[in-house]
Structure 1
Amino acid sequence: MNQGLLNSLSDAERLLVAEAERDALQRLDEDELLDLHQRVRRARTKYVKNYRRGASAAVASTGGRGLSYARNQRDRDKAELFESVLAKVSREVATVARRASMELRSERIAAARSVKTAGSTAGGAVARVEAQGARGSGGEGGGRARATKTTGGLKKDASSRAAGARRQAKRDAR
């Protein structure tokens, strides 16, 4: 990294960059990594926004985009620095998430196997149903569980059903 750029960082920004070093990232758990990821993304967005605003404002005074390019070097460099830090943190988040996913998967498989072996000795049908539940099967559809609706969707659906019921009751009353 450019030493001049590091010297131009504020203390908080310097600490944020230091938190993204390899050794520091190794000590963080998944939630802490996600928090760091969010903070780095905010810093990157700030400097990208500052750079774009400054560049667009300088175009009118300098007479073109090419001439105004050199004026906004510091914000552009900071945005690039935080972009590379964000990439590091994102890779680490992906690694930790993949590791957690594999652990959960192995636990789920072990639980299903233990239920399955217990079911073969006593009451096979009950054990198969429990094993299917432990596997996380979404029903007859196979793969995915059904998405839950938000409150707004539930209210709208209930309102539509009620309106339909009122129309039907009106017809039945004739």
Structure 2
Amino acid sequence: MNALLNSLTEAELAVVRETDRERLAELDEDALVELHTRVRRTRNKYVKLYRRQASTRVAEVGARGKARPKNRRSAQKAEVFEDALARVSRALATAARRSAAELRAERIAAAREQRGTAPRPAARPRSETVAPQRTDLSPMSPALRKRQASTLAKGARRQARRDTR
């Protein structure tokens, strides 16, 4: 692993170094999102490179299994960045949960401040609750006719689908 890390370019090594636990702990959620994007792009670059090189070598050696060992370095780089991406993803998930909890606490506190001091009205038992009456039940109501036509059309479409199968 150290040999592979030593063979990375300075820019690639800098990206991997940024994914250390200590450095991730210092970053806020926005910085973690930006780092996640950079690491994902780098990982995708080496995955694509590995696949592209392996597919061109298949024609030369005759099989995918034989082409794989000759393309080991790109695969190992992709694996290094996959591990780095996993570290950043975990840190980002933790930061997102933390900020969501903070926002929720702020919303609850704001709602409590805005709430009046008057007590809430007591809820009536379900047996006393009266359901709202519909006002569009007259036979000539446009809303009722539209609803009935929609129901009939839906049934006709279902039947047509069954008939065509």
Normalised to the residue count of structure 2, the TM-score between the two structures is 0.70
Counterpart CA distance in 1 for 2:24 and 2:64 is 39
1:107-163: CA deviation from partner (whole Å, max 9, x where unpaired):
1111111222x3428xx89xxxxxxxxxxxxxxxxxxxxxxxxxxxxxxxxxxxxxx
The letter of the residue matching 1:101 is A
Give the alignment of 1:15-164 within 5 angstroms.
Answer: 15-116=14-115, 118-120=116-118
Overall identity of the aligned pairs, in %: 53
Counterpart CA distance in 2 for 1:58 and 1:8 is 23
The letter of the residue matching 1:80 is E
Structure 2 residue runs without a partner (length 5+): 122-165
1:17-76: CA deviation from partner (whole Å, max 9, x where unpaired):
000000000000111110000000000000000000000000011111111110000000
Counterpart CA distance in 2 for 1:87 and 1:31 is 17
Counterpart CA distance in 2 for 1:114 and 1:44 is 48
Counterpart CA distance in 2 for 1:111 and 1:65 is 61
Counterpart CA distance in 2 for 1:34 and 1:120 is 44
The ranges of structure 1 where at least 4 consecutive aligned residues each deviate by more than 4 angstroms after the TM superposition are none
Number of matched pairs = 121
Counterpart CA distance in 1 for 2:107 and 2:95 is 18
Structure 1 residue runs without a partner (length 5+): 126-174
Counterpart CA distance in 2 for 1:119 and 1:111 is 14
- CA root-mean-square deviation: 1.5
Higher relative contact order (CA 8 A, sep 6+): 2
Query: Following TM superposition, by how much is the alpha carbon of 1:13 offset from its aligned partner in structure 2, in angstroms?
Result: 0.4
